[in-house]
Structure 1
């Protein structure tokens, strides 16, 4: 059983493509029709050391709901690969029977401490912005008003994507995993386990922990208020392999704010396994990538585009170590 669904909001572990909020170009903002049918996505990044090559495919979210992804380039490279390096991340688990004993506490973990309502923990102007978005995307649901802003933000964002005809893009990862399994390619996980010496104590600490998640909530509202059309533009751009169009459109960075809300919460101070998660995940992936480059003629990996394109991202780290890094043509 996965413990603390909230803590797994740490998992996006990404930086945004840009930190400013710039308006889309007029002609781009009007492009709201989502591409459907079969789409290849962007080309592959090539990391090389001598004649050993690591090919990296950049995943993206959100994507069109009805889009079918297929890339002949990806399939042909996977056919030559000796190893597949999975997407980096982190998770926390407890045993099944231990999870059953903790179920009542797990069910209440989303609630605000001391029975506070959303209106009690948010600034008045932020709460006022929430009400029309709630009506638009969630509807009549009084129970959500009892939840922490972090969880409400996630529910609102998911509902907004669904209504806009977008998904979180997990289908692409599933398709790649299916090809890897079918071809019996060695698969290396780069998901780190968040160690818990006392899951019950961590859960209790989390439930009473103060969490600076107003910024996460605020940025999520801004994303839905201003960015739905641009989300469609970026989704279409990914589907067409147009990286330039994606990078031109920056947006409110709610993922970083929401991850920070968990990573800097009070309960983390007494939970060493939940500290420095972003850096540990990055380091673990880089170790796996370098090992593969040493051992394999051809390796295939996936990363989120933000992890690829950031100035201090994963590929920048490999380049600093002396590897040749080539972008898609």
Structure 2
């Protein structure tokens, strides 16, 4: 198992880069370094539908979208598109997924990256992680954020977090994560993408299907030094913080529209939705750090994540009649994404109808 001190996972609106066992921040593949304004909710629904109807979150059992089919000859890779956030009251179940899993020989776990730091070494690193989320030199958010941004923060903090003086001393990127999570909870949205994947993995284990990691392995020779450097390094994370607040101020209805479209398996509506999100600025705040760029084993992380997944997919396609995998919907629709890379290699890709 990879180290919790430096782990990337993919699949959330704020996917996780964990640089210590107690702290997490974003590191999902970012397809843009800045976040354009989200489209109005009415632009994301089919013509003639009332926006007010679409902002009511679906409940009960929902299937999600159909499966993407990647094939070469008689060998097929079935890919299910995940999405987050999803309605907290929604139960996911897809009979199509269950049927495909029942006849598959292998399951590819979601893409991501991990390190080769062993468990015992992880334990020795924990003391160095104390204070990891705090700003260097005791700075507070009011010292780091432009005055208009900080004023917006106070409004949203009161609405979604309440009294919490401790969060004022956290780095903006960590405070943003807490704010976003609390905001989604109040909006009736949760980390449904992870829950869907966990349900799928339970089915995989029940059927005793081979489960394969697709994660890229990153090399860290000096984790203690890196943690110390991070605790002293300023982060260019004001854009991440500001974009997070913009999502909560302007995009809650559009998030509901996206969640509803996924839950109902409405591919046409899904394809009309812009998937540009806040991850880009948050990713850049970490991945552009000198302490990351100065370590060859940590460079080009996003490309290495994709290359590792594509290699695992090709291997499984060659070996199995049927393989099953999950990817975030935005990556399935990305013209430079994981499935697009397979199509460029000559595999036949069919979207669900």
Write the distance in 1 (CA, Å) between the matches of 2:105 and 2:27: 27
* Corresponding residue number in structure 2 for 1:204: 228
Cα deviation 1:208-255 (Å, max 9, x = unaligned): 122211111111010000111111121111110012323434366211
- Say which SS state the counterpart of residue 87 (structure 1) adopts: coil
Larger RCO: 1 or 2 (CA < 8 Å, sep 6+): 1
Distance 1:305 1:162 in 2: 22
Counterpart of 1:185 in structure 2 is 209
Give the structure with the higher percent helix: 1
Q: Which residue of 1 aligns with 2:11?
A: none
Q: Distance in 2 between matches of 1:213 and 1:93?
A: 28
1:221 match: 245
| 2:338 is the alignment partner of 1:314 | yes
C-alpha RMSD over aligned residues: 1.9
Please list every run of 5 or more consecutive structure 2 residues that lacks an aligned counterpart in the other structure.
7-16, 44-49
- The superposition leaves residues 127-149 of structure 1 with CA deviations (integer Å, 9 ceiling, x where unpaired) of 11111000111110011011111
In structure 1, the partner of 2:350 is 326
1:60 is the counterpart of 2:83: yes
Question: Which range moves more in the overlay, 120-129 or 269-278?
Answer: 269-278
Aligned equivalents of 2:114, 2:241: Cα separation in 1: 23
Find the aligned partners of 2:30 and 2:60 in 1 and give their Cα distance: 28
Distance 1:98 1:50, change over 3 A: closer
**Alignment partner, residue 2 of structure 1:** 4
Does residue 138 of structure 2 align to residue 136 of structure 1? no
Cα-to-partner distance string for 1:143-189 (whole Å, 9 max, x where unaligned): 10111111011111111111111111211000000011111111111
Q: Give yes or no for contact 2:38–2:251 (8 Å, CA) kept in 1.
A: no
Which residue in 2 is equivalent to 1:175? 199
Aligned partners of 1:83 and 1:298 also within 8 Å: yes
Task: Give the alignment partner of residue 254 of structure 1, picking from 268, 278, 281.
Answer: 278
Q: Residues 22 and 251 of structure 1 are in contact (CA less than 8 Å); yes or no, is this contact kept in structure 2?
A: no
Q: Does 1:23 align with 2:40?
A: yes
Match of 1:301 in 2: 325
Aligned residues: 328
Aligned twin of 1:126: 149
Structure 1: give runs of 5+ residues left out of the alignment: none
1:245 corresponds to: 269
Do the aligned residues in 2 keep the contact of 1:39 with 1:70 (CA within 8 Å)?
yes
Give TM-score scaled by structure 2 length.
0.88
Cα offsets for 1:6-50 (capped at 9, x unmatched): 54534322437x955321218235532211111100000001101
Counterpart-to-counterpart distance in 2, 1:115 and 1:6: 22
Distance of aligned partners of 1:196 and 1:287 in 2 relative to their CA distance in 1, 3 Å threshold: same
Give deviations 1:111-134, integer Å, cap 9, x for gaps.
111111111111111111111000
Partner SS, residue 197 of structure 1 = coil
C-alpha distance 308-14 of structure 1, shift in aligned 2 (>3 A): farther
Query: What secondary structure sits across from 2:352 in the alignment?
Result: coil
Residues 225, 29 of structure 1: alpha-carbon distance in 2 compared, 3 angstrom cutoff: farther
1:82 to 90, 101, 105: 105
